[in-house]
Structure formats: C-alpha cells, structure tokens
Amino acid sequence: TKIAVGRFCSTMSTMMSSGVAIIEALNICAASSGNVRIEEFVLNVRDEISKGSTFADPLGNGSLFPKMVISMVAVGESTGTLDETLKKVTDIYDEEVDTAIAAMMSMIEPLMIVVIGGIVGFIVIAMYLPIFGLAGAVG
C-alpha cells in the first residue's frame, strides 16, 4: 500500500500545483490509482469534500492512509501549501519503498547465488559422470 499511497500523493501534488480543482483532481487520482480499494476510498473522500468537509477529515475515516499522511495533509491545508506537502509525503514514501526494495534484494541475492551454484553443480556432474563411467569401463 505504500506504493499506492505514494502514487496517490504524487498525482494529487501534480494536480494541485497545476491548478486543478480538488474535486477534479480526486476524480483523476481515483481513476489512475490502479488499486480498487484506493479508488473507492478516494471517491468517498471526494463526496465528503463536496459536502463541505476538509480534505484531511475524510482521509482519517478509513485505515488506508497512515496517520502521518493525514497529519501532513491537515498541515498543508491549514498553511495553504497542500501541493508542496503532498510532494514531501511522496518523497518520504518513495524513500521508504526504495529502502524496502533494497532490503528485499539483499535477502534474495544469497538465495540466487545458492540456486545458480546448484545449477552449475548439476551441469558439472552431468558432464563428468559419463567420463568417469568410461574411465571405469577402461580400467
């Protein structure tokens, strides 16, 4: 979900900095989220904002967005720098995702070495087994 939240914040930041109205920006974010749960949640947020709610309040209604994101959105709304705040959230999530991917790759690397070693060992045995069979037949 970190990737999806980061993508949402990035798209919202781009839309807000381009001057797109928040309702239209939420429609675009919902359509481009690539995640059904986020799409439905964002459309609910849009409906709540249409009824007069702030942006941060409906974000806190679900468990989809972490409290840090909700707090940052509230600060961005109150200071009038929502686009910059969402960009900072995007940067934070991009860094967290990169760190998680690097950690996963560091765990996969030894496993891949063992698998490749096993394949090479199998090929070596398959090549030398007939040679040893011939040597036994001659001797």
Q: What is the pLDDT of residue 46?
A: 92
Per residue in 39-69, pLDDT tens?
Answer: 899 999 999 999 998 988 898 887 888 899 9
Per residue in 104-139, pLDDT tens?
Answer: 999 999 999 999 999 999 999 999 998 888 888 886
Q: What residue ranges define each of the domains in the chain, with the CATH number in brackets?
A: 2-101 (1.20.81.30)
Name the average pLDDT for the chain: 90
Q: 27 burial class (0-12, 13-18, 19+ CB within 10 angstroms)? A: middle
Q: How many residues does the chain have?
A: 139
Mean pLDDT of 71-78: 92
> Which one, of 62, 31, 33, lies nearest residue 45 by Cα?
62
Q: How far is CA 21 from the centre of its chain?
A: 26
Residue whose pair of structure tokens reads 């919202």 in the numeric block = 12
Q: What is the pLDDT of residue 139?
A: 63
Q: What is the pLDDT of residue 27?
A: 92
